[in-house]
Amino acid sequence: EIVLTQSPGTLSLSPGERATLSCRAGQSVSSSYLAWYQQKPGQAPRLLIYGASIRATGIPDRFSGSGSGTDFTLTISRLEPEDFAVYYCQQYDSSPMYTFGPGTKLEIK
């Protein structure tokens, strides 16, 4: 099982600032198999990014994903009030097996 760690655990920023969220895998993950989700309180997760860098339908272009191997990054270029939420990375490997990171909480400073 590939373990994902996310950092920081909590990120405190102000609207308009840039957010950089990290996801690190315990072993190499194909870029095709790395996704990011956003979850707001009381809501289901929403797909943001798949294939490490491809925005899902309807996702604003202030969200971008990058990375390869064991290190992946979700960047939000200019934070909007609605972006404050918890963000999870997720990977797929054979079996099939899907694992999620513990999440980064993005809170308003």
9 vs 33: CA distance, rounded Å: 23
100 vs 93: CA distance, rounded Å: 12
Among 21, 23, 25, 35, binds other proteins (CB under 8 A): 35
Per the listing, tokens 């200019």 go with: 78
The one segment of 9-17, 41-49, 63-71, 73-81 that binds other proteins by CB under 8 A: 41-49
Q: Positive or negative CA dihedral for 31, 51, 82, 41?
A: negative
Among 11, 103, 104, 106, binds other proteins (CB under 8 A): 103
Could you say whether residue 43 binds other proteins (CB under 8 A)? yes
Q: Are 21 and 73 in contact (CB under 8 A)?
A: yes
CA 37 to chain CA mean position, Å: 6
Among 7, 59, 99, 105, binds other proteins (CB under 8 A): 99
Among 7, 13, 50, 73, binds other proteins (CB under 8 A): 50
Residues near other proteins, by CB under 8 A:
32-33, 35, 43-47, 50-51, 56, 88, 90, 92, 95-103
